[in-house]
Amino acid sequence: MAPANELDELRRERRRAEGRLHRLSALGEQWHAEHGRVRRKLAEVRAFLDLAPRASDTLEELSTALFGRILDEVEANLTHAIREILGQDRVVVTEREVKNNRLQIHFLIRNQGREDEVEDIMTGQGGSVCNILSVGLRLIALSQLPEAAHRPFLVLDEQDCWLKPGLIPKFMKLIQEIAARLDIQLLVISHHPLDLFAGSADRIYALTPDREHGATVKQVK
Supply φ then ψ for residue 97, to 5 degrees.
Answer: -150, 150
Handedness of CA 27, 29, 31, 33 (dihedral sign): negative
Q: Which domain holds residue 77?
A: 60-219
Q: Which of 177, 105, 182, 180 is nearest to 145 (CA)?
A: 182
Average pLDDT over the chain reads 78
Number of domains present in the structure of the chain: 1
How far, in Å, CA of 192 to CA of 165, rounded? 8
Q: What is the pLDDT of residue 94?
A: 78
Q: Does residue 19 fall inside a structural domain?
A: no
- 209: alpha, beta or left? (left if phi > 0; alpha if psi -120 to 50): beta
For residue 170, is it within any domain? yes
CATH number, domain with residue 133: 3.40.50.300
pLDDT at residue 116 tops 70: no
pTM of the model: 0.55
3-state helix, strand, coil in the chain (%, to 5): 55, 20, 25
In this predicted structure, what is the pLDDT of residue 63? 57
Name the more confident of 3 and 107.
107
Q: Is residue 141 part of a domain?
A: yes
| Residue 22 covered by a domain | no
Q: Is 30 part of any domain? A: no
Is position 162 within any domain?
A: yes
